[in-house]
Amino acid sequence: MSALPSNVFLFSIDLEDVRDFIPAGHQYREAVPVNTLKYLDWLDKINAKATFFIVGKTARDYHDLIREIIRRGHETACHTDTHVHLTRTTPDAFRKDCESFLTTMTGLGATSVKGFRAPTFSMTEQSKWAYGVLREFGFTYSSSVLPSANPLFGWPEFKGEGMYDGIYELPMNIGTWPVKVPFGGGVYFRFFPSFILNTQARNTFSKGRAVLSYFHPYDVDTDQERFMHPHMNNNPVLNWLMYVNRSKVFAKAESLMRSSGATIMRYDQYLAAKMPTHE
């Protein structure tokens, strides 16, 4: 077991096909494989292993891609079977979802799936029953909470990293003023300049915490057609932000790592090194 580096960047990709979430989405070009390969090639270039939170349906659509993620040594974790929001499902339906996901992943050669990320950070006060279901299916950790008020989801009263109902929760990092948002991934990571991101990362590391992230295939898709993304409330300004700085993700991640000497790790290996007794 490797020792825990002092500054850890938990780089992760939520592997999903945005075309599945918008009306007539499949009129747009296929973009998941080419953009996932950009992540895989960049991770090889910097010699790092990361975590892919995968939607079961996307795994069924792209068998070879999932096998390639496993072949290159990355962790495969769960982003639900059909990108279901936990606040809109029931314990029984969620059990079926987990079962279907795990059947798909086992069939593709995943040997140990321990991690879970709720779509759109929908683990909240109302949906925390889901921890019990995750435990039933052998999951050991989750990275599903946005510990702040948010127009979509969020669990502002959440107490911080730790064990919840038998599952270790790694909530998103919320930046300090004026960046009181989850700066480590997606649109916020692309929007803020490196000097702000790097300061926020150093603040996080100085508190002994890892910087968590949540990237998607579309975050590096520089050729994507213009369409209204889900959860934007049809707001053109928010939607414009969805396309900002997609060509800069890898350079900014490298800048963050240089600025604080941070190391990228798989979530499961980070937790194993941090808590050797945690299974």
CA distance 112 to 256: 30
Nearest to 146 by CA among 176, 127, 168, 120: 120
Binding to Zn ion in span 114-133, by CB under 5 A = 119
CB of 16 vs Zn ion, minimal distance in Å: 5
155: tokens are 């669990």
- Assess contact for 204 and 211: CB atoms under 8 A: yes
> Any idea of the CA torsion for 222, 238, 231, 79, to the nearest 10 degrees?
40
> Using CB under 5 A as the criterion, what x/- string covers residues 16-35 for binding Zn ion?
x-------------------
Residue 219 engages Zn ion in binding (rule: CB under 5 A): no
Residue 14 engages Zn ion in binding (rule: CB under 5 A): yes
Nearer to Zn ion, 70 or 84 (CB): 84
CB of 118 vs Zn ion, minimal distance in Å: 9
CB of 276 vs Zn ion, minimal distance in Å: 31
- Three-state SS at 76: strand
Nearer to Zn ion, 169 or 257 (CB): 169
Q: Mark the segment that binds Zn ion (CB under 5 A) among 8-16, 25-33, 183-191, 260-268.
A: 8-16
- Three-state SS at 26: helix
- Assess contact for 213 and 183: CB atoms under 8 A: no
- Assess contact for 141 and 271: CB atoms under 8 A: yes
Beta partners for residue 263, in sequence order: 8
CB of 166 vs Zn ion, minimal distance in Å: 24
- Assess contact for 170 and 163: CB atoms under 8 A: no
Residue 97 engages Zn ion in binding (rule: CB under 5 A): no
Helices H, strands E: what count in the chain? 10, 10
CB of 241 vs Zn ion, minimal distance in Å: 17
> Using CB under 5 A as the criterion, what x/- string covers residues 136-165 for binding Zn ion?
------------------------------
Nearer to Zn ion, 219 or 268 (CB): 219
CB of 20 vs Zn ion, minimal distance in Å: 10
CA distance 277 to 279: 6
Nearer to Zn ion, 120 or 173 (CB): 120
Nearer to Zn ion, 16 or 268 (CB): 16
CB of 72 vs Zn ion, minimal distance in Å: 22
Nearer to Zn ion, 16 or 81 (CB): 16
Beta partners for residue 77, in sequence order: 53
Q: How many residues bind Zn ion (CB under 5 A)?
A: 3
Binding to Zn ion in span 165-194, by CB under 5 A = none
Cα–Cα distances (Å) from 25 to 60, 80, 118, 133, in that order, read 18, 20, 22, 31
- Three-state SS at 121: helix
Q: Which residues bind Zn ion (CB under 5 A)?
A: 14, 16, 119
